[in-house]
């Protein structure tokens, strides 16, 4: 087992070494990315502030609590830019041109390969500013974070990453059959955007959809509630189990799908 883990870490290191050296050919990107994160974030903060200036209360969430939700969204958005998007959007292309062959022929878990093959450093500014924003709200609110709530936050954040990843991966997997039809990137990115504000701020009908049909609640609101100490332990456990179930399902679905792979012909 330890040997296996070692080789997986070594592999991921090799993966990321190659992709970072490739990405860093384009230095201007970092500058553009930082500008765009600052622009996006201040835009969203401005919209939020309009709500609160007008005395409007977003589903019982205070200003600083809503900012935490926005910060978590920013973190997930950064992860999407760095890992999910560059990897999962390639799956469709690899099915299309048949280079998936080279992945399937390697003695490596193909799902791990496809999900972590490349990393793009351009999401890092988002991830950092998300964490900074959370720290800032706690400093401003003069609240002290307990180790316990940090732990709960980490757990729920991990489960939200797993949920987002699994859904995305499942949709990308369907390209084995449909080859071109789905554009999973657009679908999942817009799902994520809905998590920019607290879910309870949405009307009841949408709230239902976002909780039970598209699990957006689990993406941003649940981690926010965890760090703010507004959450029950049972919901945290449910969120964890739910994410693990989805992860398991994505793996089963992938293994099922590749038996239908026809490989683009020569």
Partner 1 sequence: MPIISARSVSKIYKVSEKAPGLKGTLKHFFERRIRIIKAVEQLNFEISKGEIVGFIGSNGAGKTTTLKMLCGLIHLSSGSIEVAGHNPEQRDRNFLRQITLVMGQKQQLIWDLPPMDSFRLNAAVYGLSDRETKRRINELSTMLELDNELYRPVRKLSLGQRMKAELLASLLHRPTVLFLDEPTLGLDINSQIRVRQFLAEYNYKYGATILLTSHYMGDITSLCKRVLLIHDGKLFYDGLLSDLTNKLSPYRLVKLSLTDSDSAHFVSQFGQLVEYDDHLVKLLIARENLTEVLTTILNQFKVKDIEVTDPPIEQLIGKLLKSGNI
Q: What is the DSSP letter of 176?
A: H
249 binds partner 1 (CB under 8 A): no
* Least distance to partner 1, CB of residue 2, Å: 13
Alpha-carbon gap, residue 140 to 136, rounded angstroms? 6
User: How far is the C-alpha of 235 from the C-alpha of 58, rounded, in Å?
Assistant: 21
Contact 88, 115 (CB under 8 A): yes
DSSP 99: T
Question: Is 14 among the residues that bind partner 1 (CB under 8 A)?
Answer: yes
Which residue in the set 97, 132, 193, 248 belongs to the binding site for partner 1 (CB under 8 A)? 97
Span interacting with partner 1, options 11-19, 63-71, 165-173, 245-253, rule CB under 8 A: 11-19
- Looking at the Cβ atoms of 59 and 98, the one nearer to partner 1 is 98
Q: CB burial class (10 A; 0-12, 13-18, 19+) of residue 122? A: buried
Q: Residue 38 is inside which H or E element, if any?
A: helix 28-53
Pick from 15, 51, 52, 136: which binds partner 1 (CB under 8 A)?
15
Instruction: Say whether residue 262 binds partner 1 (CB under 8 A).
Output: yes
Q: Tokens at residue 73, please?
A: 């969204």
Q: Which of 5, 190, 232, 266 binds partner 1 (CB under 8 A)?
A: 266
Contact pattern for partner 1 over residues 19 through 38, marking x by CB under 8 A: --xx--x-------------
Bridge partners of residue 61, in order along the sequence: 58
Say whether residue 182 binds partner 1 (CB under 8 A): no
Which residues, including other chains, have CB under 8 Å from residue 191's CB and lie 6 or more apart?
A: 167, 214, 216
Structure tokens at 176: 């084995």
Question: What's the closest the beta carbon of residue 179 comes to partner 1, in angstroms?
Answer: 12
What is the contact surface with partner 1 in residues (CB under 8 A)? Answer: 7, 10-11, 13-15, 17-18, 21-22, 25, 97-99, 101-102, 104-108, 259-263, 265-266
């Amino acid at each position: 087992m330890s040997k296996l883990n070692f080789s997986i870490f070594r592999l991921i290191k090799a993966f990321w070494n190659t992709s970072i050296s490739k990405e860093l050919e384009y230095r201007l990107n970092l500058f553009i990315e930082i500008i765009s994160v600052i622009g996006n974030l201040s835009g969203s903060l401005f919209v939020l502030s309009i709500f609160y200036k007008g005395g409007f209360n977003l589903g019982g969430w205070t200003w600083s609590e809503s900012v935490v939700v926005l910060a978590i969204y920013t973190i997930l958005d950064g992860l999407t830019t760095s890992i999910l998007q560059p990897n999962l959007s390639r799956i469709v292309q690899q099915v299309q041109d048949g280079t998936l062959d080279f992945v399937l022929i390697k003695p490596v878990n193909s799902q791990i390969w496809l999900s972590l093959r490349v990393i793009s450093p351009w999401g890092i500014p988002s991830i950092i500013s998300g964490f900074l924003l959370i720290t800032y709200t706690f400093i401003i609110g003069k609240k002290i974070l307990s180790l316990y709530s940090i732990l709960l936050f980490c757990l729920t954040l991990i489960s939200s990453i797993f949920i987002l990843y699994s859904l995305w991966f499942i949709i990308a997997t369907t390209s084995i059959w449909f080859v071109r039809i789905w554009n999973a990137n657009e679908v999942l990115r817009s799902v994520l955007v809905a998590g920019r504000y607290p879910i309870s701020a949405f009307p009841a009908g949408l709230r239902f959809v976002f909780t039970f049909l598209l699990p957006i609640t689990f993406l941003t609101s649940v981690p926010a509630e965890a760090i703010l100490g507004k959450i029950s332990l049972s919901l945290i456990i449910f969120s964890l189990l739910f994410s693990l179930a989805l992860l398991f399902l994505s793996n089963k679905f992938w293994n099922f799908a590749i038996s239908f792979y026809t490989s683009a012909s020569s």
